[in-house]
Structure 1
Amino acid sequence: MSVIPGAWRRTAAGAGLLAADGTVAPTIFAEMSAAAARTGAINLGQGFPDEDGPAEVLEAARAAIAGGANQYPPGRGTPDLLAAISEHQHRFYGLDVDPATEVIVTAGATEALTATLLALIDGPDDEVVVFEPYYDSYAAAVALAGARLRTVPLRAPDFQPDLDQLAAVVTDRTRMILVNDPHNPTGVVFDQEVLTEIVRLAHLHDAVIVTDEVYEHLAFRAPHTPIATLPGAAERTLTISSAGKTFSTTGWKIGWVHGPAELITAVLTVKQYLTYVNGSPFQPAVAVGLRLDDAYFTNAAAALENKHRILGDGLRAAGFTVHAPQGGYFTVADASALGGTDAAAFCRALPDRAGVVAIPITAFLSPERRHEYGGLVRFAACKRVEVLEEAVSRLAVFSA
């Protein structure tokens, strides 16, 4: 007999969280990481760096632990981190954020997103619009909130959305437009025209805009523009980001969300019953990171761009068609010319065939759209240069 209540079983199944027999469904990420461990393959599947972030940030965490910052921090976050987030938004984007009422610290961007959905979704008639492919937690969080997921496709080679399709999907039932920019998994940075249309549609249909900007400092071929900076956007936008990608501290799970005070209060009401608080000694360390000199942020983006170049050149030499990213951790490549028209099957064979692990783009798609992206594969470039060079040398088996 199942111990999962029927309503939650149906919700979890709809979000892809349960297998057909009612057990927890393993993700493709877990499957591919297990394949890497089994075969000794280089894991370019999951998006986490294999080197530490800036020394001063790490040292600040050690100092905080030694100084006794090991108990519950304030519910909204430590005052210094709240101030640092506010300073950061003004320094880089000219946004004025009240640290006392318009920002809260969360357990990573994922909690910020989930708490936002749970706080602002009113019922099953509400719709959340996302761009597809989408980060896999989006569908799960929307389902758990009880809303309906509506998607707008991003197609190669530029992965910019068709604005007519976007306008057709956003309706008066749209409660939220969720924008991941720079985008995972495609690496696109959305054009100004796209951002402007999102704001127009949000006003037209009285929708809230929620942005996932965790790769904000890792855009390199096009500038990142937070939607909240556009005219008329800040009043209805919740901006989410985190320290993990910017400072190579993905395991710390320090994120934040800021926006209008009344929306932030609603999110905090939910967040306090999720993690309550988190990461006490990491919060002062992230504050140090957010106040680093401009050179740190510029160099981080440049270093990642160089890694993408190494990976992209190697993939092209191996016979892949590469869609060069504009930001973020990932390079998308088409394996169709190598017999990889079924990306999931290709990725499952890749560890044994070439000693490299990747993720099929189908993992980021709704079932009815997977056939449209058959040969696309995502590779993580956020690894040490020598690791990427070794991965490229292994992938050369396809061109041998």
Structure 2
Amino acid sequence: MTDGQISEKNKKLTMAKPALWRPEAHLSTTVRDMPPSGIRKFFDIVVEMEDVISLGVGEPDFPTPWHIREACIYSLEGGNTSYTSNKGLPELREVLAESVEEDLALDYDPEDEILITTGVSEAVDLAFRATLNSGDEVIVPQPCYVAYVPDVLLAGGVPRPVATRLSEEFKLRPEDFAGEINERTKALVLSYPNNPTGAVMTREDLEEIADLVVENDLLVISDEVYDKLTYDGKHVSFAQLEGMQERTVLLNGLSKSSAMTGWRIGYAFGDPAIIGAMTKVHQYTMLCAPTMAQVAAVEAVRRGEEEVMAMKREYDRRRRLFVSELERLGLPCFEPKGAFYAFPSIQGTGLSSEEFSEELLKEERVAAVPGNAFGESGEGFIRCSYATSKEEILEAIDRIERFLANLEARGRSGKGIKKV
């Protein structure tokens, strides 16, 4: 090739290049079009403000119990900092198998039916990615945890949100989703006790759903991370129903019940084929959950029940106090049966969920999450966590009362709000 030919070729290559590099053109369209978390987006504002009472982030205000932290410290001192098996420490899987048998009378083989994950959030993601093909549809009852719909999309699936209602105590009824099932429907998400509503499903409620699950050959992905925080009666898992264990991927973890959010320990129970597929994805992404956190988790499962029950009793006291105060202010609130959230209606103010939350934060420095962050059926509500001290709850109530009074004075509140 002559010098003239090389020069002409380089000229053509230069002309073919775009004038400006546009990195956004190289993004996944799924990720690009996905909105940020409605919780995190809102609380990015909170961290820059002073004197804020946060009723927003779903995190216990208790520290992890000392004996659990101590187990981690001993592990570090012993130099136990290497990888574990992709599936997790054998000892942790064994104590979890013993625990789920004792609590729920469910039998899982720790060798191939239990996977330790980096928090329950990873377990949710793995469950979808391991089971969904492109175009598979998933029934997602709402209001619900903010990650379910995005995780379905990231796995190539199609989420089918269905609304639950205050009039039904936010329980999922067969008629809510029967009409959404078609030949592409593959799975149903269950999340009880529920975030954000605090709803709980009884055995009878779940049995009604089980009939539809069998008729339509559905997989059930059941996120039960709040199972220990059930206030009326004992938690019932969907996997406990006759014939449902093999159809259920049961997800759980220690973040909420044992005040171990930052430790990132979750786990999945299920059929060996599904757990094996989830492990494949897990080994190419996370490899394994942190070793020292897994050691601490063994201690939490074996000897942490007393602290779990103590925290639950305190949440229960706060729950009753907070709900009664919200009702006094004229904010109708379903009494949560589980988790540590209240989901009061703000429809009577005439404000949208986002308007109410933003103005409450700006005017009175109280942070709550707009209900629509949890799906369209959450519009008209706000989520308030009572995983905070009694003193902060009462101060928050005083500020909310003042906020409502100011709305009334400005003539902005609707007929549903009592004068305060």
TM-score normalised to the size of structure 1? 0.90
Out of 368, 374, 382, the residue aligned to residue 379 of structure 2 is 374
Aligned residue runs from structure 1 range 162-173, under 5 A:
162-173=173-184
The answer on 1:107 being equivalent to 2:107 is: no
**Matches of 2:80 and 2:340, distance apart in 1:** 32
Shift of 1:155: 0.7
Partner of 2:23: 3
8 Å CA contact retained: 2:366, 2:399: yes
Aligned residue runs from structure 1 range 269-308, under 5 A:
269-292=280-303, 294-308=305-319
Deviations 1:34-72 (A, max 9, x none): 235414211111111222022211211111111212221
The answer on 1:358 being equivalent to 2:363 is: no
Larger Rg: 2
Gaps of 5+ in 2: 1-20, 406-419
Shift of 1:194: 3.0
Partner of 2:160: 150
Shift of 1:4: 4.8
Gaps of 5+ in 1: 17-24
Q: Which residue identity is paired with 1:31?
A: F
Change (3 A) 1:175 1:26: closer
**Matches of 2:196 and 2:372, distance apart in 1:** 11
Q: Which runs of 4+ in 1 moved over 6 A?
A: none
Deviations 1:148-188 (A, max 9, x none): 10122111141122322222223332211111111111110
Change (3 A) 1:103 1:356: same
Partner of 1:128: 138
| Identical aligned residues as a percent | 27
Out of 155, 163, 181, the residue aligned to residue 192 of structure 2 is 181
Change (3 A) 1:318 1:36: farther
Partner of 1:78: 89
Shift of 1:95: 0.8
SS in structure 2 at match of 1:281? helix
Shift of 1:294: 4.7
Q: Which residue identity is paired with 1:360?
A: P
TM-score normalised to the size of structure 2? 0.86
**Matches of 2:184 and 2:328, distance apart in 1:** 47
Residues paired across the two proteins, number: 384
Partner of 1:347: 357
**Matches of 1:96 and 1:244, distance apart in 2:** 23
Out of 205, 228, 238, the residue aligned to residue 194 of structure 1 is 205
**Matches of 1:309 and 1:114, distance apart in 2:** 34
Shift of 1:306: 1.1
8 Å CA contact retained: 2:142, 2:378: no
Shift of 1:223: 2.8
The answer on 1:161 being equivalent to 2:172 is: yes
**Matches of 1:216 and 1:107, distance apart in 2:** 19
Change (3 A) 1:209 1:250: same
Shift of 1:393: 2.7
SS in structure 1 at match of 2:333? strand
Deviations 1:202-230 (A, max 9, x none): 22222211110110101112431111111
RMSD, aligned α-carbons: 1.9
8 Å CA contact retained: 1:187, 1:331: yes
**Matches of 1:26 and 1:246, distance apart in 2:** 23
**Matches of 1:5 and 1:75, distance apart in 2:** 35
Partner of 2:17: none
8 Å CA contact retained: 1:170, 1:201: no
**Matches of 1:32 and 1:310, distance apart in 2:** 25
The answer on 1:396 being equivalent to 2:396 is: no
SS in structure 2 at match of 1:272? helix
Change (3 A) 1:340 1:69: farther
Shift of 1:373: 4.4
**Matches of 1:238 and 1:281, distance apart in 2:** 26
Q: Which residue identity is paired with 1:310?
A: L
8 Å CA contact retained: 2:138, 2:157: yes
8 Å CA contact retained: 1:160, 1:191: no
Change (3 A) 1:54 1:241: same
**Matches of 1:13 and 1:330, distance apart in 2:** 31
Moved more, 144-153 or 382-391: 382-391
Partner of 2:13: none
Moved more, 318-327 or 76-85: 318-327
**Matches of 1:101 and 1:115, distance apart in 2:** 16
Partner of 2:242: 231
Partner of 2:230: 219
The answer on 1:383 being equivalent to 2:388 is: yes
**Matches of 1:44 and 1:307, distance apart in 2:** 12
Partner of 1:22: none
**Matches of 2:329 and 2:101, distance apart in 1:** 44
**Matches of 2:25 and 2:281, distance apart in 1:** 22
Deviations 1:49-98 (A, max 9, x none): 22202221121111111121222121110111111111110110111111
Partner of 2:68: 57
SS in structure 2 at match of 1:248? coil
